[in-house]
């Protein structure tokens, strides 16, 4: 990946606290506008860039939030000190003595986050972390009138003041807001690469707003895109720093180890078939991959995967040290590997593959010859079913999705009424002569994951 210094610097230094993302959106619009024929926003401000491919469907949504954590002016006291409301998740110990800029209608005003000095604190207070409620921004004013004369007023965004800077090791960068300008960089890089390759789908690169305050931009933009499958690019905590016992963590990621597939977070359990596809693609292309578990956090995937009737979704994280602070560190190689991986996955997401994902079909073909089950006296055979791998109907109940057109009479004691609502699975068998396994009891027929379309609309038997 060629280092685009201008892009990295512009994105990280642009102010973009949740709800105030316009400067970041302007930067991304300039870059994405040259790579996508269509560019627009939803009514909350998320930026949507459409990149057509060989087919209009499936629609692949790539989402990366462009907002950062910060603060908002809540009021100015009589001494000219600015009180603030945190926006997003802050840890008080990383805030004191840090520079910030208040973005007013007249321009930015620099200040510093302060509190009572330790020299005059009682011993018991010196030993405790300072509560955020006791902090304020000092802009050098000595009265409310002097602060207001600078243009400061309630509601103005307050943004960490931290410059983009390359570090000593090649490809290491320090900046504010890598969470999640790193994902925004990947969005631009993926669309750049898609311009030079074929892909069997339509790609929608979405820079969402207000992720840090409740995944709000994802909630609206997913409705605008109506995707068939989604990949969320965000950051994750690099746990390769001193003092962390990695053996006690459910999973851990290191800087430079490649992107991380989320196995679990507080907002989503990933789509397992899509996860397998991504992991297999990384293996096939020799792309390093890590895994992540974050019980206390979440990403835009939490809202995207539950949209409409459900969207197969996976979150891919860029390892970053010290997220949710004034300065964080990443490695360019992790962005490179993430972009390579996502482009390779997009090239595999044709209509048949996405239909199989939605049907919960296996990511890999089942070993051995295909078998079919047969119901004596009914004359119905289900080709391609996989025995014993999915939920089945108990005796006296119809298989999920069985169409009435099959004309099966209800079995005695069946809760269903009418044709096609009951069957007795104990007599079912596989075409190779083996008995079908029934998790509900001895013998019987099992419903597999092969996605055989039972209903007239082609709805697969549920997994």
> Which are the catalytic amino acids?
211
- SS3 for the chain, per residue? CCCCHHHHHHHHHCCCECCCCHHHHHHHHHHHCCCCCEEEECCCCCEEEEECCCCCCCEEEEEEECCECEEEEEEECCCCCEEEEEECCCCHHHCCCCEEEEEECCEEEEEEEECCCHHHCCHHHHCCCCCHHHCEEECCCCCHHHHHHCCCCCCCEEEECCCCEECCCCCEEEECCHHHHHHHHHHHHHHHHHCCCCCCCEEEEEEECCCCCCCHHHHHHHHHHCCCEEEEEEEEECCCCCCCCHHHCCCCCCCCCCCEEEEEECCECCCHHHHHHHHHHHHHCCCCCEEEEECCCCCCHHHHCCCCCCCCEEEEEEEEECCCCCCEEEEHHHHHHHHHHHHHHHHHCCHHHHHHHHCCCCCCCCCCCCCEEECCCCCCEEECCCCCCCCCCCCCCCCCCCCHHHCCCCCCCCCCCCCCCCCCHHHCEECCCCECCCCCCCCCCCCCCCCCECCCCCCECCC
């Amino acid at each position: 990946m060629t280092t685009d210094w201008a892009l990295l610097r512009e994105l990280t230094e642009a102010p973009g606290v949740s709800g105030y993302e316009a400067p970041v959106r302007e930067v991304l619009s300039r870059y994405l506008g040259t790579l996508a024929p269509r560019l627009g926003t939803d009514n909350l401000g998320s930026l949507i860039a459409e990149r057509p491919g060989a087919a209009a469907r499936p629609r692949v949504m790539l989402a990366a939030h462009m907002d950062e954590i910060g603060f908002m002016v809540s009021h100015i006291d009589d001494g000219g000190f600015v009180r603030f409301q945190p926006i997003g998740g802050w840890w008080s110990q990383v805030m004191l003595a840090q520079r910030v800029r208040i973005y007013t209608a007249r321009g930015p005003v620099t200040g510093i986050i302060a509190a009572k000095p330790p020299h005059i604190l009682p011993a018991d207070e010196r030993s405790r972390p300072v509560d955020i409620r006791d902090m304020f921004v000092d802009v050098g004013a000595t009265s409310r009138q002097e602060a207001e004369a600078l243009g400061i007023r309630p509601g103005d965004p307050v943004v960490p003041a931290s410059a983009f800077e390359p570090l000593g090791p090649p490809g290491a960068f320090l900046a504010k807001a890598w969470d999640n300008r790193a994902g925004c960089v990947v969005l631009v890089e993926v669309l750049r690469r898609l311009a030079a390759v074929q892909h069997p789908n339509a790609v929608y690169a979405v820079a969402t707003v207000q992720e840090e305050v409740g995944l709000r931009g994802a909630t609206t933009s997913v409705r605008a895109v109506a995707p068939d499958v989604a990949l969320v690019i965000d950051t994750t905590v690099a746990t390769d720093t001193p003092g962390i016992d990695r053996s006690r963590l459910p999973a851990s990621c290191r800087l430079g180890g490649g992107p991380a597939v989320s196995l679990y977070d507080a907002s989503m359990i990933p789509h397992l078939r899509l996860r397998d596809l991504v992991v297999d693609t990384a293996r096939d292309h020799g792309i390093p991959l890590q895994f992540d578990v974050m019980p206390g956090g979440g990403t835009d995937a939490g809202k995207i995967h539950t949209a409409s009737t459900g969207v197969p979704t996976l979150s891919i994280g860029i390892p970053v040290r010290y997220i949710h602070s004034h300065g964080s560190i990443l490695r360019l190689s992790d962005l490179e590997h993430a972009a390579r991986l996502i482009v390779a996955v997009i090239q595999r997401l044709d209509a048949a593959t996405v239909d199989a994902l939605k049907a919960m079909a296996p990511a890999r073909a089942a070993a051995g010859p295909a078998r079919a089950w047969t119901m004596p006296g009914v004359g119905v055979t289900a080709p391609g079913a996989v025995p014993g791998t999915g939920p089945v109907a108990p005796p006296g109940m119809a298989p999920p999705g069985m169409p009435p057109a099959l004309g099966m009479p209800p079995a005695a004691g069946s809760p269903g009424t009418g044709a096609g609502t009951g069957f007795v699975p104990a007599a079912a068998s596989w075409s190779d002569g083996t008995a079908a396994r029934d998790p509900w009891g001895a013998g019987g027929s099992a419903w597999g994951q092969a996605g055989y379309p039972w209903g007239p609309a082609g709805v697969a038997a549920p997994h």
